[in-house]
Amino acid sequence: MKNFLESFLDLIYRKKCYFCQSSKYSLKMCPKCYNELAFSDFRPNRIINGIDIYTCGTYDKNLQKLIRGLKYHRQKELAHYLAKFMYEYWINVKDNCEFQVIPVPLHKNRIKKRKYNHMELVAYEFCKMSGMIPNFDLITRIKDTKPQYKLSRKARIENLSGAFEVDISKNLNKPILILDDICTTGATFEEMINTLKKYGINEIVCMASSSPVC
């Protein structure tokens, strides 16, 4: 009777894959759906002010649903899978683990509304996999910017002007890896790069999990 009850409860409370709804593996993202994620080329997507910008995949199919579920629908467990995807991409382009990892920061008003910064969750998971050090205090967002997705590149740059502030006392004196979810025009990375360079911080690499479908 005990074994039957345990099997019944296990069946009832097994996790379903967020993507295909299968409960076979009791995981938020089953191996089949994870393996459908596809990497972009293992080379910089672009270079901004001398800094390499990498994008791991394209914003469609399962990767789009993964990002949106984590970012907008409070599916926090998905941070592990996005971090895993980014880490597996990273080890194909860099072999140095001596980085401090900085997720693109949100303004306090955005965090109050959303309750969390999804890229901080990803950065924690990424650092557990890579052995790198998270640093959420070096650079903060001091300007409550408008959502970027409807803006032109020129408007994005204007929107982000003066958006970030650096506390140089929080620098861990290691190269910086900035993580974001989507790199569209690169305006967010560009503003962060420019702000860090004002403080003499020049060893920077940027990586986004995706770029828009061309």
Both 144 and 111 in one domain: the answer is yes
CATH number at 183 reads 3.40.50
Query: What's residue 209's pLDDT?
Result: 98
Q: pLDDT tens digits, residue range 52-80? A: 999 999 999 999 999 999 999 999 999 99
Is the pLDDT at 212 greater than 80? The verdict is yes
**DSSP for 127-143?**
HHHH--EE-SSSEEE-S
Q: pLDDT tens digits, residue range 117-175? A: 999 999 999 999 999 999 999 999 999 876 766 677 778 777 788 899 999 999 999 99
- The amino acid present at 181, given as its one-letter code, is D
Query: What's residue 7's pLDDT?
Result: 47
Both 134 and 69 in one domain: the answer is yes
In percent, the amount of the chain with pLDDT more than 90 equals 79
Domain, as residue range, for 73: 37-211
Query: What's residue 84's pLDDT?
Result: 98
Both 14 and 85 in one domain: the answer is no
Q: Are 126 and 132 in contact (CB under 8 A)?
A: yes
Is beta strand 164-166 parallel, antiparallel or unpaired with respect to 176-182? unpaired
Q: What is the mean pLDDT of residues 11-37?
A: 91
Q: Are 190 and 133 in contact (CB under 8 A)?
A: no
CB atoms within 10 A of CB 88: 13
Both 19 and 114 in one domain: the answer is no
Both 16 and 56 in one domain: the answer is no
Both 11 and 82 in one domain: the answer is no
Both 108 and 145 in one domain: the answer is yes
Predicted TM-score of the model (pTM): 0.91
Both 109 and 141 in one domain: the answer is yes
Both 96 and 149 in one domain: the answer is yes
Both 27 and 99 in one domain: the answer is no
Both 25 and 98 in one domain: the answer is no
Give the Cα separation of 133 and 7 in Å (integer): 41
Q: Which residues contact 78 (CB under 8 A, 6 or more apart)?
A: 18, 28, 29, 66, 69, 70
Q: Are 69 and 20 in contact (CB under 8 A)?
A: no
Instruction: Count structural domains, the chain.
Output: 2
Integer-rounded Cα Rg, in Å, for the chain is: 19
Is the pLDDT at 44 greater than 80? The verdict is yes
Both 106 and 153 in one domain: the answer is yes
Q: What is the mean pLDDT of residues 200-214?
A: 94
